[in-house]
Amino acid sequence: MQVCRLEPHQAHPPLAVTAIEARITHDDRNWLGLRWRIETASELVLPAPAGKRREDGLWQATCFEMFLQPDGGSAYCEFNLSPSERWAAYDFSAPRAGMAQRALPRDPVCTMRAGSRFAIFDAAIPRAGLPSGQSAMGLSCVIEETGGRKSYWALAHGGDAPDFHDPACFTTRLAAPSAA
């Protein structure tokens, strides 16, 4: 599957992280698998394991995100996935407007493997909780490093401040689920 290179927002450079790549690892009628690879993870700060459960505010620490905007409208959904195993999902009617909790049929599965050279974050999201059909997709992450330093990584950035909700960040595509 296509590997997408994320870019740090220029106003918030990383401390040690040198690159982040994201990709879809698998996609079928049951699960969408995603992977983020962080290069030079020696200063990476991870939230403590907390078990699978919905939780708001995950973006305030290291967090991995996916945005999907179905073709033909301004509505979109956001998925926040934490190395702690906590997660959140929201629907929006337009950029940062009409926010509501998005129901998922079961908890996403989140796993983190970290070393000093690199770290891997894998997530599997139940396909039944995603929009049907094709969507514009944004992949992003907030990376916290030693000393509270945060960098904001996305496929593209649209403004002077980091904003993953900006449609300029939705630069790749998610196809409709396969029948497999």
Nearest to 63 by CA among 91, 87, 39: 87
Q: How many whole angstroms separate alpha carbon 162 and alpha carbon 152?
A: 7
Q: Which domains does the chain have, with CATH numbers?
A: 3-174 (2.60.40.1190)
d(C-alpha 83, C-alpha 55), whole Å: 13
Q: What does the pLDDT read at residue 176?
A: 80
pLDDT value for 76? 97
Spatial distance between the Cα atoms of 18 and 7, rounded to a whole number of angstroms: 10
Each residue's pLDDT tens digit in the chain (180 positions)?
689 999 999 999 999 999 999 999 999 999 999 999 999 999 999 999 999 999 999 999 999 999 999 998 899 999 999 999 999 999 999 999 999 999 999 999 999 999 889 999 999 999 999 998 899 999 999 999 999 999 999 999 988 999 999 999 999 999 887 665
> Residue 179: its pLDDT value, please?
60
pLDDT at 88: 98
Q: Whole-model pTM? A: 0.95
Q: What pLDDT does 132 receive?
A: 87
Query: In sequence order, which residues have a C-beta less than 8 Å from that of residue 27 and are 6 or more positions away?
Result: 1, 33, 127, 174, 175, 177, 178
